[in-house]
Amino acid sequence: DTDTGDHIARMSRIAGLIAEALGLSEEECGLIEIASQMHDVGKVGIPDEILFKPGPLSPEERRIMETHTALGWTILEGSQSRLIQMAADIAASHHERWDGAGYPRGLAGDAIPLAGRITALADVFDALMSVRPYKPAWPLERAKALIVEGSGSHFDPACVEAFFSRWDQIIAITGGADREVAAA
């Protein structure tokens, strides 16, 4: 659907900006930006009635939804391509949390691949700023506050610092500034 395609374009560009702000090489930034586009490839194995459910997921539906990380890894693993190897790592790790409370493996801190930590932040922010079947788009200040609050628990603090160093570019990508002006 077009919403998913738009989300992928925005969040991957945000991931590239975070990588750049972290001082990664131009090549590494480009790989992260492209590989992050495949972060949810495992959702091809999730039933549409769960993916597009207009309300909260039941515990069983959530368990099924969470399998998309392992499905993504399975789809992408084993390639000799550095890009696809990174995409597999991202697919498997973009729902891990800095404090170890994420899934699927409960990885924490630096045990989470850097590309996965970057993608997690870019993915969450764009998802908050977007309309989804189960929620409206969040106001910019509320989304910003969640990112600040999640630094050191949900998100790698270095990634959060890099994210905010590119704030003006990021809100331009998400259209957040335009929505705030229209709401005023």
- Terminal CA-CA length for the chain: 30
Q: Which of 43, 53, 135, 144 is catalytic?
A: 43
Rounded to 5°, the CA angle 81-39-135 comes to 170
The answer to whether 165 and 21 are in contact (CB under 8 A) is: yes
Sign of the CA dihedral running 108, 114, 117, 121: positive
Alpha carbon distance 68, 74 (integer Å): 10
Active site residue 144: no
The answer to whether 67 and 55 are in contact (CB under 8 A) is: no
Active-site residue set: 43
